[in-house]
Structure 1
Amino acid sequence: MMKNFMPPKHSKDQETLGERLRKRREALGFTLKDVADEIQTAQKHVTALEEDSYDVFPAKVYALGFFKKILNLFGTENKEDWIKEFNTEWEIRMFRKDKTIAPLPENRGDGPYLTPARFGLLIGGMGLLIFLLFLVSQLQNFVGIPKLKVEEPGNQALLEVPMVRVRGSTEKEGRLTVNGRELRVDERGNFDETLELAAGLNALEFQTENRFGKVQKEVRYVIVK
């Protein structure tokens, strides 16, 4: 019966798991090729296990599978101890491989500082905010009625002459009419014109229509003596 091969106790000059595996193979008279042929794998996998180099394995399950086959081939009785040590060794080496240390940012004092990346984000954020405000304003124009404020004439105004001043404000991009006659609106949305009236009662219907087809109306009654 083969002698039971126990992993040595921990010490400062302890051999690695792979080194002990290699010594066990050599003691039993196996070559690397012999072991590879017996467990039906490439020789590089056996070499990797003996050198504690696990990068050649696509996943832990492959390395552990070959490791167990080697233990069976060597007739190892305390396989659970070896497997436990293999799992620990794998986790330690994979952790060291994947662990990256990010460089510390340059010390620029306690106050805030503006980097090119932050400046780009700031400009992009401002542009997005302006765009959203524009969309909100367009939505309000689309769903809301246009504004119309008639300052002159007052309702039921009594005039001595058949002329009346119409003055007020509306949306500058809208179309403003009085009884079907179009009035001029300046760049600020103001209008100010004089109209000729007939004697007696006159009904002045102001109507403004924005580019979305929304309409607002207001009527003024004026009496000419």
Structure 2
Amino acid sequence: MTKSIGEILKRAREKRRMTIDDVYKAIKIHPSYLRALETDNYTVFSGKVHSKGFLKLYSDFLGLDLSEILALWRREYEHEFEDKKEERFFQKKFVESPSFVITPGAVLIAFVFVALTAFFGYLYYQYRNFTGAPALNIFYPGDNLITSASILDITGKTDLDSEVYINNQKIILSPDGSFAESVKLKEGLNTISIRATNKLAKTTEYVRTIIYRPADAPPIDINDVAGESTESSESVGEQ
């Protein structure tokens, strides 16, 4: 019965009274590869050239007939390369992991992407500002305020291209769109309209209901106050 290549290698090594480690120290082939050759296990090698090169080196070290060993190897194993793809017959020792390499082209693409995103974001923001109602934030006062002060300070902020009206009276805005205006209250119920209008005549409006009750005034009858709520906001005292 014909011996396999692995059996021939192992027998030749044992005749020399050498261990796997002895061979490793002599020819620097890792013990795992030496054992693979002696057991005819070629799946640990990265490819055909790899396995054949180690086989030749090991056989030559043991003093075997290279032509005979290679002829046996071709007869027993080379057909595997013809029937299967090499990567299915040999198990890759290392799996390369994809790596990200920063190149000038990648930097340029990233820069263009960020610039376009910012540009279209700006256009969308401007479109919303241009076609929508203006923003109007009233910082003070809140609604349904009861105060004992006859002068009420109204503060807030709107878009830069808008105009603000308090009870239909236009007021002056600061460069950043903020405003502060004082309104004189009449005793009892005061209805204050705060309106922002942009260049497209889009309007945002808030109404504040304020009750002015002097400190020395008698208690307010709620029925009397309710009767006053139907009066026009224009009847609010002078600004």
TM-score over 0.5 for the alignment? no
- TM-score category (smaller protein): 0.3 to 0.5
TM-score relative to the length of structure 2: 0.41
